């Protein structure tokens, strides 16, 4: 049996096939596996999981922990946009990017995701949401619009990503 502490601001309701987790940042539901038994101990404020398969137990515990953390605190991902003349704007539910192409790139922001521009000069995008998978998927889709290239380092990169630089062409003079 594995246990997970439930924070005070979180309410969990267990039904036959679903688990509903509600917190300050919203409500999420997760389909319950048939071979896992889930119970809540109200005295110790813990969620207990038990099954015959230990690895499945750990997997479900990790997913439930991510959901609880998401509705309690949320997840964020930072992207840096590097390049002369590159710009980013957020209008309504669209992210408008000027990345050196002949046209602007319009990215429709998914539901439950918020994008903020922290610094217009250094162009740091902050992607916020309560779903871990959706926040990372949105960051990956935005990064894929113009990944950082290895010669000048221009493009979109994750905040902590290191772009390996290549040496340019040499001319024999």
DSSP secondary structure of 60-93: HHHHHHHHHHHHHT-EEEEEEEESTT-EEEEETT
What are the CA-CA distances from residue 130 to residues 5, 29, 47, 91, 141 (Å)?
19, 12, 20, 21, 18
CA 140, 144, 145, 148 dihedral sign is positive
Structural domain boundaries in the chain: 2-72, 75-158
113 near 65, Cβ under 8 Å?
no
Considering the domain 2-72, what is its CATH architecture? Alpha-Beta Complex (3.90)
Give tens-digit pLDDT for 7-57: 888 999 888 888 999 999 989 988 887 778 888 888 888 888 887 777 777
What are the residue ranges in the chain where pLDDT is below 70? none
Domain at 75-158: CATH code: 3.90.930.12
Same fold across 2-72 and 75-158:
yes
- On average, the pLDDT of the chain sits at 89
Which secondary structure element, helix H or strand E, spans residue 140, and what is its range?
Answer: helix 132-145
Helix (H, G, I), strand (E, B), or coil: what is residue 58? helix
Residue with tokens 């946009």: 81
The DSSP bridge pattern shows strands 18-23 and 26-31 to be: antiparallel
């Amino acid at each position: 049996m594995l246990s997970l502490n439930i924070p005070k601001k979180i309410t969990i309701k267990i039904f036959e096939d679903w688990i509903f987790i509600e917190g300050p940042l919203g409500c999420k539901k997760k389909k319950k596996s048939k071979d896992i038994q889930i119970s809540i101990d109200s005295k110790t404020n813990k969620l207990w999981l038990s099954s015959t398969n230990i690895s499945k137990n750990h997997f479900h515990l990790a997913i439930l922990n991510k959901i609880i953390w998401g509705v309690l605190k949320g997840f964020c991902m930072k992207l840096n946009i590097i390049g002369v003349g590159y710009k980013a704007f957020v209008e309504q539910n669209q992210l408008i990017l000027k990345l050196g192409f002949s046209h602007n790139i319009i990215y429709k922001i998914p539901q439950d995701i918020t994008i903020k521009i922290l610094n217009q000069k250094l162009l740091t995008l902050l992607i916020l949401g309560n779903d871990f998978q959706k926040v990372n998927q949105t960051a990956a889709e935005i990064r894929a619009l113009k990944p950082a290239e290895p010669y000048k380092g221009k493009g979109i990169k994750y905040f902590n990503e290191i772009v390996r630089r290549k040496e340019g062409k040499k001319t024999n003079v």
